[in-house]
């Protein structure tokens, strides 16, 4: 069984979008822990609503590439606009940050809110 930490963020109907993403993900794998959600200012393009960010720790039999593909599928199903600016508003953003014991997303080191959320879900180990 693989253990992963997934970051999640939204600034379009943020709480509802995050709740929906969690519900969709629970159909595919076991969600072990969900972090507190943190409000953050937008990065880059600042003329947009605040983001709501968090992380969840999961257990899955999927391989990393399968999980990543599923996360992108969930984003698409929820209406993620892939043509929007990189730092623009988004209904949902799902990324694998930790795969088993390896940090695979450099944003962990660059964004304190992400590091705090990831560390929170890993603290139950």
What is the overall mean pLDDT for the chain?
Answer: 91
| Burial status of residue 100 (CB atoms within 10 A of its CB: 0-12, 13-18, 19 or more) | exposed
Q: What is the pLDDT of residues 26-49, one digit of tens each?
A: 999 999 999 999 998 777 666 668
Q: Quick check: is 64 catalytic?
A: no
Of residues 13, 93, 107, 116, which has the active-site annotation? 93
Q: Quick check: is 82 catalytic?
A: no
Q: How many CB atoms lie within 10 A of CB 109?
A: 10
The residue segments making up the domain with residue 8 are: 2-122
Q: Quick check: is 65 catalytic?
A: no
Domain count for the chain, please give it. Answer: 1
Q: Which residue shows structure tokens 């590091």? A: 115
pLDDT at 89: 80
* pTM listed for this prediction: 0.91
Which residue has better confidence, 32 or 86? 32
- Asked whether residue 119 carries a pLDDT value surpassing 80, the answer given is yes
- What is the spatial distance between Cα 45 and Cα 9, in angstroms, rounded to a whole number? 16
Beta strands in the chain (DSSP E): 2-10, 30-34, 38-40, 51-60, 93-99, 102-103
CATH assignment of the domain containing 38: 3.30.70.560
């Amino acid at each position: 069984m693989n253990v992963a930490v997934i970051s999640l963020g939204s600034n379009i109907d943020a709480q509802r979008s995050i709740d929906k993403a969690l519900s969709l993900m629970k159909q595919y794998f076991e969600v072990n822990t969900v972090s507190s959600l943190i409000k953050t200012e937008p990065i880059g393009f600042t003329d947009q609503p605040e983001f709501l960010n968090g992380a969840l720790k999961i257990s899955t039999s999927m391989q990393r590439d399968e999980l990543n593909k599923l996360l992108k599928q969930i984003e698409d199903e929820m209406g993620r606009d892939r043509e929007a600016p990189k730092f623009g508003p988004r209904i949902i953003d799902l990324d694998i940050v930790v795969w088993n014991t390896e940090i695979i997303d450099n944003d962990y080191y660059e964004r304190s809110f992400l590091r705090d959320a990831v560390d929170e879900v890993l603290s139950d180990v």
